[in-house]
Amino acid sequence: MRRILLAAIMFGAASGAQAADLPFLRGSFTDGLTTQKVFWQGYYVGGQLSYGSSDSKLPSNINSDMQSTFRAPDDVSYLWRPLGQAHNLTSGFGAFAGYNSQWEDVVVGVEANYIHGGFRAYSNSMGVRLNPDLTTQSITHSSAVIKLSDFGSLRLRAGYIMGCFLPYAFVGAGFGGQTIDRSISVAPDPVLPPWTADTKTKLVYGYSAGVGMDVMLVGGLFTRVEYEYQRVTSTIESNINTVRLGIGYKF
Provide the 3-class DSSP secondary structure of residue 13: helix
Say how far apart CA 250 and CA 179 lie, in whole Å.
Answer: 36
**Exposed (0-12), middle (13-18) or buried (19+): which is 199, by Cβ within 10 Å?**
exposed
pLDDT at 29: 34
Q: How many separate helices (H) and strands (E) can be counted in the chain?
A: 2, 9
| Per-residue pLDDT at 233 | 82
Q: What is the pLDDT of residue 96?
A: 98
The per-residue pLDDT for 141 is 84
How much is the pLDDT for 132? Answer: 67
Run of H or E including 15: helix 2-20
Domain limits, the chain: 46-250
Amino acid at 143: S
Q: How far apart are CA 50 and CA 117, in angstroms?
A: 8
pLDDT at residue 242, as a whole number: 95
CB 148 within 8 A of CB 238: yes
Q: Beta 77-79 vs 197-218: how paired, if at all?
A: unpaired
**Mean pLDDT for each consecutive 10-residue tract of the chain (251 residues)?**
43 45 38 60 97 89 85 74 88 96 95 90 81 66 88 96 95 92 79 80 92 95 97 86 97 94
Say what the pLDDT of residue 193 is.
Answer: 64
27 contact partners, CB below 8 Å, separation of at least 6: none
pLDDT value, residue 61: 83
